[in-house]
């Protein structure tokens, strides 16, 4: 009778892989964390331009040379530093990053990478003062 020998191989070490998050132009945004995200800190998000309210936009003129330089650079290497955005009750407000925002608009890009912080109506009032 044939003897059946069973060889038990050592357990294969398991590795966990964390997905790499990249934007549409291939720029590395970061490595997704397997830990639950903390609720308080800023998060990096691609947000459609038209979803960002810019209450001070009409009162501040952008330097068109800067915008042009940013357009040339963003076209080649993508946005390297996200713009700061405040989120209040699910609505996004942008008060800075005006040149980067206009460069995206003029390039016809649908979204812009943002660093989103949550705030209250009081934070918003403070920005509008
Ligand atoms: P903004 O009004 O958008 O803040 P600034 O001219 O004051 O315009 O600053 C431009 C910012 O854009 C700088 O902080 C720079 O580091 C950032 N930046 C992000 N992506 C790029 C890029 N691709 N080329 C040049 N600057 C970039």
CATH assignment of the domain containing 116: 3.90.1530.10
Average pLDDT value for residue range 6-32: 50
- Of residues 29 and 77, more confidence is placed in 77
Q: What is the pTM of this model?
A: 0.75
pLDDT band at 7 (very low <50, low <70, confident <90, very high): low
How would you classify the pairing of strands 20-22 and 83-88?
unpaired
pLDDT band at 16 (very low <50, low <70, confident <90, very high): very low
The pLDDT value given to residue 107? 98
Q: 5-21: buried (b, 16+ CB within 10 Å) or exposed (e) per residue?
A: eeeeeeeeeeeeeeeee
The pLDDT value given to residue 34? 47
Q: Report the domain count for the chain.
A: 1
Structural domain contains residue 4? no
Average pLDDT value for residue range 89-98: 96
CA 112 / ligand 1 centre spacing (Å): 13
Full domain range(s) for residue 84 = 40-128
Structural domain contains residue 61? yes
Question: For residue 53, how many other CB atoms are within 10 A of its CB?
Answer: 15
Mutation pick for ligand 1 pocket among 54, 62, 70 (CB with most ligand atoms within 8 Å): 70
Structural domain contains residue 107? yes
Structural domain contains residue 8? no
pLDDT band at 33 (very low <50, low <70, confident <90, very high): very low
- Of residues 50 and 57, more confidence is placed in 50
- Could you tell me which of 125, 112, 98 has the C-alpha nearest to residue 44? 112
Are the C-beta atoms of residues 90 and 51 closer than 8 Å to each other? no
- Of residues 61 and 18, more confidence is placed in 61
Structural domain contains residue 11? no
Structural domain contains residue 119? yes
Nearest-CA residue for ligand 1 atom 8 is 99
């Amino acid at each position: 009778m044939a003897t059946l020998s069973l060889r038990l191989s050592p357990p294969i070490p398991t590795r966990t892989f964390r997905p790499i998050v990249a934007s549409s132009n291939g720029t590395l945004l970061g490595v997704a964390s397997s830990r639950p995200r903390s609720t308080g800190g800023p998060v990096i998000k691609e947000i459609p331009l038209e979803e960002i309210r810019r209450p001070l936009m009409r009162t501040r003129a952008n330097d068109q040379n800067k915008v042009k330089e940013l357009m040339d650079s963003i076209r080649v290497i993508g946005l390297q530093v996200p713009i700061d955005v405040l989120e209040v009750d699910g609505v996004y407000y942008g008060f800075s990053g005006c040149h980067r925002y206009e460069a995206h608009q003029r390039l016809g890009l649908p979204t812009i990478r943002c660093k989103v912080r949550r705030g209250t109506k009081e934070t918003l009032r403070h920005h509008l003062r």
